[in-house]
């Protein structure tokens, strides 16, 4: 599911060396800090190199491939100090006590931790850092999809929008715009593992506060917001290339001028070709919202953009492992990795690492701040992640099973093997079966914890 996110680290290489940072004055342990890292060996080397600029502390990485990584994390957590992973695995890791709760003082205004106190964006505090009433994961990155389009299209997206407000695109106007393009001149990631994200990105705008499940754990997939989203996605796919693309393929197409309009992520910091002139924008909004309590559609307020932030399963977090023997050092490393001096090189080189805090050193003007499209993307992220409303994410035990079941059904619609109605009913049935196989009572308890941490 996550092969793209962790498979393109080092596409950038070391674009511009950052000025050396003064070494940390903190005590250096003779014992290496043991880090269990989900990703690629090249990414671990980038982190190690950046850390070496500010500390003499030795890091010892164990790299775990992303495919079905959670069971490897469970097995090896007792032999490591820190785990750097994706938030979709938090539920399982908490369930088996493979990670520890973060100290309440670590990020508080009066905290006494050796690490810097960080002002995380609200969407990440509630959607990635906390599970239930406790904090477990330090947010390290939140890749969010964006809309890419030529400046000229901002003037014709909808009759009711002002020309200088490209953020007022709706999913309906997006569908109309790409129909007017030559076939294959628009794209979004629909490869295996990414089709479910495309569906949920649309359903997020159409849904009210109800999300993914109704009641305690009854799937909400076969309801109006998801059906409308899936029908629109299937219609949009008619204008896309026949091959279902990954995010890196879509962004590469944008860079080379292959696509006029695209929904994707920035997957490397290589500059756009000189002939390419595009605007990076937030995803389209919706003109209506489905009120689940009334069972009817209502117009969205004209001057309001009130969608909840949707964090995908590829949100990066770091946690204290159950086998940690150097707590203060582990905390200092995680706070540095989240927002410390010299970490812009990591964000340039590993797409799954992004800005996560208001007081990030590089946001404050430190050396190595991102530039070009990377800076535009970071600015969009800052706006998005300051939203205080965040959807409950895929952080249940077995989250990858739920995700893959939904992804399969969306792909079945895109390949015209099922109708949207059939696919969503089948996805709901699959989710019920997954919940039962994992112990429905424990899954309900876990979902309540996910709900408590969101708002």
Q: Can you give the pLDDT at residue 26?
A: 58
Q: Can you give the pLDDT at residue 25?
A: 46
Rg of the Cα trace of the chain? 21
Q: Tokens in use for 63?
A: 């790299």
Q: Tokens in use for 253?
A: 């197409």
Q: Can you give the pLDDT at residue 23?
A: 39
Q: Can you give the pLDDT at residue 14?
A: 37
Q: Can you give the pLDDT at residue 267?
A: 83
Asked whether the beta carbons of 226 and 424 are under 8 A apart, the reply is yes
Length of the chain, please?
Answer: 455
Q: Can you give the pLDDT at residue 369?
A: 46
Q: What is the DSSP string of 382-449?
A: HHHHT-S-B---S-STTHHHHHHHHHHHHHHHHTTSS-HHHHHHHHHHHHHHHHHHT-HHHHHHHHHH
Q: Can you give the pLDDT at residue 110?
A: 46
Q: Can you give the pLDDT at residue 101?
A: 96
Q: What is the DSSP string of 266-330?
A: ----PPPPTT---EEEPPPB-SEEEETTTTEEEEPPTT---PPB---TT-EEEEEBTT-S-HHHH
Q: Can you give the pLDDT at residue 362?
A: 57
Q: Region of 51 please: left (phi>0), alpha (psi -120 to 50) or beta.
A: alpha
Nearest-10 crossing angle of helices 420-437, 224-237: 120
Q: How far apart are CA 245 and CA 23, in angstroms?
A: 43
Q: State the 10-residue block means of pLDDT for the chain, 455 residues long.
A: 46 37 57 98 97 97 94 98 97 97 71 61 94 94 93 56 57 95 97 97 94 94 98 98 96 93 85 78 92 92 71 94 97 94 90 88 47 80 92 93 98 99 99 97 95 84
Centroid of chain to Cα 272: 23
Q: How far apart are CA 190 and CA 236, in angstroms?
A: 11
Q: Can you give the pLDDT at residue 302?
A: 59
Tell me which H or E stretch contains 130.
Answer: strand 130-131
Q: What domains can be seen in the chain, in order of their start residue? A: 3-143+313-385 (3.40.190.10), 146-299 (3.40.190.10)
């Amino acid at each position: 599911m996550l092969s793209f996110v962790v498979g393109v680290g080092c596409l950038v290489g070391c674009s511009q060396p950052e000025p050396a940072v003064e070494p940390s004055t903190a005590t250096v342990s003779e014992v290496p800090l043991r880090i269990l890292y989900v990703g690629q060996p090249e990414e671990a080397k980038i982190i190690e190199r950046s850390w070496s600029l500010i500390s003499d502390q030795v890091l010892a990485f164990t790299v775990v491939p992303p495919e079905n990584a959670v069971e490897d994390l469970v097995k090896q957590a007792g032999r490591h100090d820190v785990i750097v992973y994706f938030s979709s695995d938090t539920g399982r890791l908490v369930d088996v006590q493979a990670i520890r709760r973060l100290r309440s003082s670590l990020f508080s205004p009066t905290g006494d931790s050796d690490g810097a106190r960080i002002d995380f964006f609200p969407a990440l505090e509630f959607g990635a850092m906390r599970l239930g009433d406790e904090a477990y994961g330090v947010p390290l990155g939140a890749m969010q999809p964006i809309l890419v389009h030529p400046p000229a299209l901002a003037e014709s997206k909808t009759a009711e929008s002002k020309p200088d407000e490209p953020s007022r695109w709706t999913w309906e106007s997006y569908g109309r715009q790409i129909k007017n393009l030559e076939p294959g001149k628009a794209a979004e990631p629909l490869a295996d593992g990414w089709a479910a994200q495309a569906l949920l990105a649309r359903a997020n705008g159409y849904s009210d506060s109800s999300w993914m499940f109704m009641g305690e754990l009854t799937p909400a997939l076969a309801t109006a917001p998801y059906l409308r989203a899936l029908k629109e996605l299937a219609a949009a796919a008619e204008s896309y290339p026949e091959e279902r693309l990954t995010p890196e393929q879509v962004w590469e197409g944008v860079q080379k001028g292959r696509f006029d309009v695209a929904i994707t992520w920035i997957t490397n910091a290589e500059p756009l070709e000189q002939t390419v002139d595009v605007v990076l924008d937030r995803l389209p909004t919706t003109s209506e919202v489905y009120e689940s309590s009334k069972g009817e559609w209502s117009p969205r307020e004209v001057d309001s953009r009130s969608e909840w932030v949707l964090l995908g399963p590829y949100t990066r977090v770091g946690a204290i492992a159950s086998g940690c023997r150097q707590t203060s050092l582990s905390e200092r490393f995680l706070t540095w990795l989240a927002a410390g001096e010299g970490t812009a090189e990591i964000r340039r080189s590993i797409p799954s690492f992004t800005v996560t805090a208001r007081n990030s050193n590089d946001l404050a003007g430190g050396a190595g701040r991102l530039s070009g499209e990377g800076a535009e993307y970071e600015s969009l992220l800052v706006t998005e992640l300051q939203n205080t409303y965040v959807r409950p994410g895929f952080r249940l035990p077995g989250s990858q099973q739920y995700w893959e079941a939904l992804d399969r059904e969306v792909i079945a619609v895109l390949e015209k093997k099922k109708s949207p109605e059939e696919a969503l009913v089948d996805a709901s049935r699959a989710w019920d079966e997954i919940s039962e196989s994992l112990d429905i009572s424990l899954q309900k308890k876990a979902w309540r914890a996910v709900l408590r941490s969101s708002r």
